[in-house]
Amino acid sequence: MSRALDWPGLMRAGMRGLRLKPAEFWALSPGELLFLLGREKDAAPMARARLEELARAFPDAPATRQETGR
C-alpha cells in the first residue's frame, strides 16, 4: 500500500522550518528530508539505560558561585 506524500506540508517544513532554499529542498530525497526533520521511521526513543550511560560519561559540573549568584 503506497501513501501519497504531503508535499505542501513537507515544503513548509523544509523551506520555512529548516530554511532550505528551493533548490536545496528539491535536491533532497523524501528520506533525507525526513531525516533532517528528525522523523526517522526506525529511530527509537532513548531508553533509560542509555541516558544513564551518557550521564556517567558526561556528568554535570557543579555550578560555581558566580553561575548561581550566591
Non-local CB neighbours of 18 within 8 Å, separated by 6+ positions:
36, 37
Domain boundary assignment for the chain: 7-68
Query: Tell me, what's the pLDDT at 6?
Result: 85
Per residue in 42-66, pLDDT tens?
A: 656 678 888 888 888 888 877 666 6
pLDDT band for position 41 (50/70/90)? low
d(CA 44, CA 56): 21
Please give the single-letter amino acid code of residue 17. Answer: G
CB 36 within 8 A of CB 17: no
